[in-house]
Amino acid sequence: MKKVAYADLQPGMIIAEAINSLNGKQILFPKGITLTNKAIHNIKNWDIPYVMVMEDASSPMEMSKEESEDLSLSPALLPTMLLEKSLNFSNTLQDSIGKVNDLFDNTRRSKSVDIREFNKVALQIFEHSIYPSEAVHRLLFSLPNDNSLAYHSVMVASLSGMLAQWMNWSAKDIKEIILAGLLHDVGKTQLPIEVIEDTDSAFMNPESIKTHILLAFKLLKGTKALSPNVLAAIVQHHEYMDGSGYPQQLSGDRIHIFARVVSVVNYLSTMIAASKNINPFMLLQSIKTEMFIKLDPEVCDVFTRRITDYLCSSIVNLKDGRQAKVVFLPNVNPIFPVLQVDDEFIDITRNKEVKIVGLLM
């Protein structure tokens, strides 16, 4: 094998040693992957100075245009383990949405909650957790827009579990917070279906939506299989740190920690559902704004730090069709990152005509 500077890499060369991120914490490309134009572009964006390639690949293999395009778009560029976990995770999310939808329909008809089946879904999500960066992208920025109750509940459950992992919770507590996320809006199954699906109706009569907390409590209060932690999260997830929430106007530490986590994630999910083009930096800024008013500052701090780490060096789509690399993210005002497009650096605080409209995987 031989060392090749990234500027000299060519499509068809075969990686002889796994390429790691600069901090050594993540495998970017495993050994044996054949380089494509897209892979080389990513290596440049990640500032990898050189790559070890096979000696017999010093002359690039001939590839047709179609083969090169197919490879450049293929998820096979992901490390093998990450690819498998990523696909499993995506399939689990879609499967979970279908199961939860059926369970909610059954709850609507029977006026009872099948905790055993919801627990099975929660365990399935827990067992198929993947690397945080992949989960962040798939959960926050790449899943299809779906305003259904089941989709929202699975998203809140998955993100709550991810946030609990970041906070170093025990496996038992992570499983419980995932279950709490699945059930946090179960009371809405007892509301008229048009109130849930018609956003205008919900907006015009918010008091009817607020009753879902009491309805959930009535459904679950006699359930022995449900832990007090999960029930507290369901009943208190609309309580805010400043006491402005409902139904009891609790504040600060009087709100259960499970409820504080679900509250942050529920806030995120609501913001994402309301937007057609998610700007992750606006999302980050909104959380930073609310973390000293309505949301738990410690929970928000964990989330914003992780998201900041993820967004730095990420590739974003601009409104004018270009793609840019995030090279600096101000801690105080993350809505205005510094971007790099080829050899040009763009400070959005000075060039506000530049608009970010999406995040590239």
Concatenate the DSSP letters of all residues of 268-279 into one string. HHHHHHT-SS--
Q: Cβ(60)–Cβ(11) under 8 Å?
A: yes
Do the domain assignments include residue 305?
no
Six-digit token string for 261: 């986590």
pTM greater than the 0.95 cutoff: no
Least confident of 50-64, 75-89, 147-161, 164-178: 75-89
Torsion of CA 308, 313, 315, 320, to 10 degrees: 90
**Treating both helix axes as pointing N-terminal to C-terminal, what angle do 149-166 and 257-273 enclose, rounded to 10 degrees?**
130
Considering the chain, what percentage of its residues have pLDDT values greater than 70?
Answer: 78
Q: Considering the chain, what is the average pLDDT of its residues? A: 81
**Do 218 and 342 have their domain in common?**
no
pLDDT tens column, 334-353: 778 899 998 899 988 888 88
89 with 143, same domain: the answer is yes
Residues 93 and 8 in one domain: no
Does residue 38 surpass a pLDDT of 60? yes
Q: Is residue 192 a part of any domain in this protein?
A: yes
Give how many domains the chain has, as a whole number. 3
Q: Does the structure show a pLDDT above 70 at 144?
A: no
52 and 86 part of one domain:
no
Q: Once rounded to an integer, what is the mean pLDDT over residues 187-211?
A: 73
Domain boundary among 44, 76, 108: 76
Q: How is residue 239 written in tokens?
A: 């309580």
What is the domain range of residue 322? 313-360
At which residue do the structure tokens 């959960």 appear?
Answer: 139
Answer yes or no: is 258 within a domain: yes
Q: Residue 89 and residue 138: Cα distance in Å, rounded?
A: 9
Both 110 and 198 in a single domain?
yes
DSSP-assigned states of every residue in 148-210:
-HHHHHHHHHHHHHHHHHHTT--HHHHHHHHHHHHHTTGGGGGS-HHHHH-HHHHHH-HHHHH
Look at residue 233 and tell me whether its pLDDT is greater than 80: yes
According to the model, what pLDDT value does residue 113 have? 96
Q: Does 32 lie in the same domain as 135?
A: no
226 against 278, higher pLDDT: 226
Query: Does 99 lie in the same domain as 174?
Result: yes
Same domain as 186, residue 129: yes
Evaluate if residue 153 carries a pLDDT over 80: yes
- Decide if 125 is inside a domain: yes
The enclosing domain of 20 has a CATH number of 3.90.105.10
How many DSSP H helices and E strands does the chain contain? 15, 9
For residues 257 and 124, membership in a common domain is answered with yes
CATH number of the domain enclosing 226: 1.10.3210.10
Instruction: Calculate mean pLDDT across residues 178-196.
Output: 91
Residue 176 pLDDT exceeds 80: yes
Three-state DSSP state, 25 = coil
Could you tell me the two tokens for 178? Answer: 């995932």
What pLDDT, in 10s, does the model give residues 58-106?
A: 444 444 444 344 433 344 444 455 555 556 677 788 899 999 999 999 9
* Distance, CA of 306 to CA of 132 (rounded, Å): 9
Q: Note whether 274 and 258 are same-domain residues.
A: yes
43 and 182 co-located in one domain: no
Q: Are residues 62 and 106 in the same domain?
A: no
